[in-house]
Structure 1
Amino acid sequence: MELVLERISKKVGPQLWLREMNLTLQSGAVTVLLGATQAGKTSLMRIMAGLDVPTSGRVLVGGKDVTGVPVRERNVAMVYQQFINYPSLTVAQNIASPLKLQGYKNIDARVKELAERLHIDMFLERLPAELSGGQQQRVALARALAKNAPLMLLDEPLVNLDYKLREELREELTQLFATSDSTVVYATTEPGEALLLGGYTAVLHEGELLQYGPTAEVFHRPNSLKVARAFSDPPMNLLAVQAMGTGLRLPGDVYLEIGTQVPQAGALTLGIRASALRLQSRPGDVAVQGVVELAEISGSDTFVHVKSAWGELVAQITGVHYVALGETVTLHLDPAQVYLFGADEALLRAPDRAHAYAGGR
């Protein structure tokens, strides 16, 4: 099923919620809508589903104009932040409800299969109120998957779950989507979630579509500073620099040689992903000393906030490291890993793929 948004916009009163955009979803693939709160993700999904009508533009499904066709006349499955289940039906009956409407045969076997895949098969005879929030969200996901709709919309479905459960469900959903024929649209504020789900990513900001393409390509080659900011967690380190031949003049009067002619003269912005900064040196690195202002451990990474001559820097160090506040550390950087943005904030230079995943240690 091909879904095309053609010059779509949405205005509510004097406010422009969605700026005019064109978007063609890849059939049978996952498209992630990535952006901060109020970026326009939910508004866009409601138009895709038929819950709202665009102020201008058309929605095409399989080449047919369905603009204004209500959701009840479309074959769409949706899962929201707040799980929605039928409270008077058991888990098994909730999952089976769309199957019965479709006249599906072997309903019990399909319900059991989906329940097992989402690890809720032991709760099939319980009512939703007897389950935890995470278990109830799994029921809602199972019911959406059971519908087997050509278009499945998931609006931040894991945002209200605890960290461990989110991690488990992300992995499960990635596997489920890979074996599904549905076109999946998944809204999130988290860059890491977009990378894990893969597929394609549309980056939104204040109702504007900034960039759309294969997720890895958008991550490695953000077309602007806005996209780089949206698709970096922790935020990309951004420094004001001056172009000088084949190098850059950094804050603190430091010269950084990047090996190729800088494509634009004058004031530019240098971007350094936190994962590109390391505590250990490698041949060809440049180094900068700084004082640790904050060190936090998150999962299997340590985030070190450093005040340096270059400015405030955040380094994402692989592994668990205990770094004292006020300690002087030296951060190392391969110049091949830097991004460069022009005066108009457009991308001028990005690392090649060989350097893109060289994580910090």
Structure 2
Amino acid sequence: MQLRLESIGKKVGSEDWLYEMSLSPQPGAVTVLLGATRAGKTSLMRIMAGLDAPSTGKVLVDERDVTGQSVRRRNVAMVYQQFINYPSLTVAQNIASPMRLRGEKNVDEHVRALADKLHIGTFLDRLPAELSGGQQQRVALARALAKKAPLMLLDEPLVNLDYKLREELREELGQVFSAGDATIVYATTEPGEALLLGGYTAVLDKGELLQYGPTAQVFQQPRSLRVARAFSDPPMNFFQAFRVPGGVQLPRSALLPMALPDAAAGAGQDVTVGLRASALRLRERDGDLSLHGKVLLAEISGSDTFVHLSSDIGDLVAQLAGVHHFTLGAAQTMYFAPSAVYVFDAAGDLLLAPSGARSS
């Protein structure tokens, strides 16, 4: 199924909730809607589902105009943040309900297969209220998959689960989605979730569609500062700098040798340098540049250590693999390769991405 949003916009009163945008999620793949709260993700999904009509533009399904057509007349499966299940039906009956509506054969066998895939096979005879939050959300996901709708919309389905459950379900969902042929649209505020699910990503901010494309490409080549901020966790480090012959000069720090595009403004032009937290390291390699600072905070999360430092060019955060121990207030030098740097012009548009992130 090909869903296409053509120049759609959404106004509520005098307020723009969605500015005019066009988007065609890739058929049979996952498209992630990534953005902070109030970026417009839910408003966009409600228009895709037929729960709301756009103020401007058209919604097309296989080139057929379905703008204004209610959700009841569309073949859509939806999963929300809340655990929406039929409370009086068992887990098995919840999952089976869309299959029985279609008059499908071998329902029990298909229910068992879906339940096993989502690791709820031992709970089939229980009621939803007897399950944990994570187990209830798995039931809702299984029922949505059982509907076999060509379009499946998931609006931050893991946000109300604890960290461990989110991690487990993220990995499982990636496997489940890759095995199906439905078009999946998945809304999240978390860049890590978008990277894990892969597929395609549409970055939204304050009702604007900033960039859409293959997830890895959008992550590696954010076309603007706004995209880079939205698609970085931990946040990308940004430093003000200016262009000089042969590269970019960081105030009170080293020259970053690089060849900026000829179309960029000349020497003296203000630019913004971006450096991902994962690009910083403790040990120097050939060709590295250094940043000197003091440790403000060090915290261990999972298998990584996050170090916050103050430096001559501003505060920064480094993401280091493994467990490391630091003394608060101690001097600390971090190293990075010039080839790991992003450069944005005065308008916030991307001038240069890391050498390994350039498109082929």
Q: What's the TM-score bracket when you normalise by the shorter of the two chains?
A: over 0.9
| CA offset digits 1:108-147 (Å, max 9, x no partner) | 0000000001111110000000101110000000000000
Partner of 1:165: 165
8 A Cα contact 1:3 1:62, kept in partner: yes
Identity %: 67
Give the C-alpha shift of residue 253 in structure 1.
4.5
Partner of 2:334: 331
Partner of 1:141: 141
For normalisation by structure 2, the TM-score amounts to: 0.97
1:237 is the counterpart of 2:237: yes
8 A Cα contact 2:254 2:289, kept in partner: no
One-letter amino acid of the structure 2 residue matched with residue 353 of structure 1: G
Give the C-alpha shift of residue 177 in structure 1.
0.4
CA distance in 2, matches of 1:253, 1:261: 23
Give the C-alpha shift of residue 254 in structure 1.
3.2
- Describe the SS at the equivalent of 1:313: strand
One-letter amino acid of the structure 1 residue matched with residue 141 of structure 2: L
8 A Cα contact 1:277 1:331, kept in partner: yes
Give the C-alpha shift of residue 149 in structure 1.
0.3
What pairs up with 1:83-94 in 2 under 5 angstroms?
83-94=83-94
What pairs up with 1:1-361 in 2 under 5 angstroms?
1-258=1-258, 263-265=264-266, 266-353=269-356
Give the C-alpha shift of residue 167 in structure 1.
0.7
Give the C-alpha shift of residue 260 in structure 1.
5.4
8 A Cα contact 1:229 1:236, kept in partner: yes
- Describe the SS at the equivalent of 2:161: coil
| CA offset digits 1:320-357 (Å, max 9, x no partner) | 1111111111100100000000011000000122799x
8 A Cα contact 1:247 1:261, kept in partner: no
8 A Cα contact 1:241 1:251, kept in partner: yes
Give the C-alpha shift of residue 14 in structure 1.
1.2
Deviates more, 1:176-185 or 1:241-250: 241-250
CA distance in 2, matches of 1:97, 1:56: 36
CA distance in 2, matches of 1:253, 1:161: 44
8 A Cα contact 2:40 2:205, kept in partner: yes
One-letter amino acid of the structure 2 residue matched with residue 242 of structure 1: F
| CA offset digits 1:193-243 (Å, max 9, x no partner) | 000000000000000000000000000000000000000001110111010
- Describe the SS at the equivalent of 1:7: strand
Give the C-alpha shift of residue 311 in structure 1.
1.1
CA distance in 2, matches of 1:264, 1:334: 24
- Describe the SS at the equivalent of 2:152: strand
Deviates more, 1:241-250 or 1:223-232: 241-250
One-letter amino acid of the structure 1 residue matched with residue 285 of structure 2: R
Give the C-alpha shift of residue 247 in structure 1.
1.5
Q: 1:176 to 1:124 in 2, by over 3 A?
A: same
8 A Cα contact 1:212 1:218, kept in partner: yes
- Describe the SS at the equivalent of 2:290: strand
8 A Cα contact 1:297 1:320, kept in partner: yes
Q: 1:354 to 1:6 in 2, by over 3 A?
A: closer
Deviates more, 1:71-80 or 1:257-266: 257-266
8 A Cα contact 2:289 2:338, kept in partner: yes
8 A Cα contact 1:246 1:261, kept in partner: no
CA distance in 1, matches of 2:273, 2:61: 42
CA distance in 1, matches of 2:334, 2:151: 46
Q: 1:316 to 1:146 in 2, by over 3 A?
A: same
Unaligned runs of 5+ in 1: 357-361
8 A Cα contact 2:195 2:216, kept in partner: yes
For normalisation by structure 1, the TM-score amounts to: 0.97
CA distance in 1, matches of 2:355, 2:337: 12
Partner of 1:359: none
CA distance in 2, matches of 1:260, 1:83: 50
One-letter amino acid of the structure 2 residue matched with residue 11 of structure 1: K
Aligned structure 1 segments of 4 or more residues deviating by more than 6 angstroms: none
8 A Cα contact 2:221 2:358, kept in partner: no
8 A Cα contact 1:336 1:355, kept in partner: no
CA distance in 2, matches of 1:107, 1:340: 56
One-letter amino acid of the structure 1 residue matched with residue 54 of structure 2: P
Unaligned runs of 5+ in 2: none
CA distance in 2, matches of 1:61, 1:256: 49
